[in-house]
Amino acid sequence: MHTKTILIVDDEPRIRQGIKKTLENWANGQYLILSAAGGEEAIEIIEANKISLLITDIRMPEMSGLYLLETLKKQERNPVVIIISAYSEFAYAQQALRLGVVNYLLKPVSKQKLIEAVEQAVQVEQKQTRTGLIQKVVDEKLADMNNYNDGNKIYSKSIIDAILFIDERFNMEITLKQVAAHVHLNSSYFSALFKEQTNVTFSEYLTRIRLQHAKNLLMTSTLPVTEIAEKVGYNTSKYFIKLFKQYEGMTPNAYRKGNENDF
């Protein structure tokens, strides 16, 4: 099962096949390596496959590599890109960089330089993927609240301990009374103190933590909603779906469907 795909676009068969062979040896089966003889063929492949890394020549007869990148940008397809060209004019490099190219290599490219560039590009792609995933699943209210070291916030030790206790046990049956006992406070006092310092109730915090983990599972796994509900601490999927819709404005299945093409 290939998790990532690399596409090579070059109108010169010898160069195209040489790059493909080099990368297949380097990838050792971990990446699917595809190739195209021109821009139009590349677009067809990209429309049918999720491309993580695009390696393309700049000058090709039917469609230049730069025009290919501009076309993909208009289609909101944004693979990480390496440009390979025999033309070292600064204008090409400038335009390539403006289009988000991470590396610009001049022919002839050695195997070592090619592999170094690809490894760097893979790191960029992985970082973009992680960043995108974090941005999609993060609960901004939680992110703001959980910044214990923010100089503008002063959480008592009891509240910090309570938050850590909840974070470790969100997938279990957990009550306000249990958490209050853990931090050696009266339930009523703990409830008021938690709301005063965090600006959310205990119940809302627990719900938001569970739903954040659920969103992560919806985007990164194929687990059914009923199983995800159980994994984040809900006995019934019906209640989980109700809460998810209340906080996210859509059902878990709709959330998954809306993000399935991104990762």
Q: What is the pLDDT of residues 188-232, one digit of tens each?
A: 999 999 999 999 999 999 999 999 999 989 988 889 999 999 999
Mean pLDDT rounded to a whole number for the chain: 87
Q: Helices (H) and strands (E) in the chain — how many of each?
A: 13, 5
For the chain, give the number of residues.
263
Average pLDDT over residues 2-17: 89
- The yes-or-no verdict on residue 240 having pLDDT over 90 is yes
* pLDDT for res 188: 97
Average pLDDT over residues 98-108: 80
- The yes-or-no verdict on residue 67 having pLDDT over 80 is yes
In angstroms, the CA 205 to CA 144 distance is 12
CATH of domain 4-136: 3.40.50.2300
Q: Give the pTM.
A: 0.61
Q: Is 32 helix (H, G, I), strand (E, B) or coil?
A: strand
Domain 140-259: give its CATH superfamily.
Answer: Homeodomain-like (1.10.10.60)
| Phi and psi torsions of 181, nearest 5° | -65, -40
Average pLDDT over residues 121-141: 80
DSSP 8-state secondary structure symbol assigned to residue 109? P
* pLDDT for res 131: 74
| Alpha-carbon distance values, 241 to 26, 166, 198, 233, 237 (Å) | 45, 21, 26, 13, 6
Using a 10 angstrom Cβ sphere, with 0-12 exposed, 13-18 middle and 19 or more buried, the burial of residue 71 is middle
Q: Which of 60, 66, 63 is nearest to 83 (CA)?
A: 66
In angstroms, the CA 100 to CA 103 distance is 9
- For the chain, give the percent of residues with pLDDT over 70: 90
- The yes-or-no verdict on residue 1 having pLDDT over 50 is no
Domains 4-136 and 140-259 share a fold: no
Least confidently predicted of 63-72, 95-104, 162-171: 95-104
Domain spans of the chain, in order of start: 4-136, 140-259
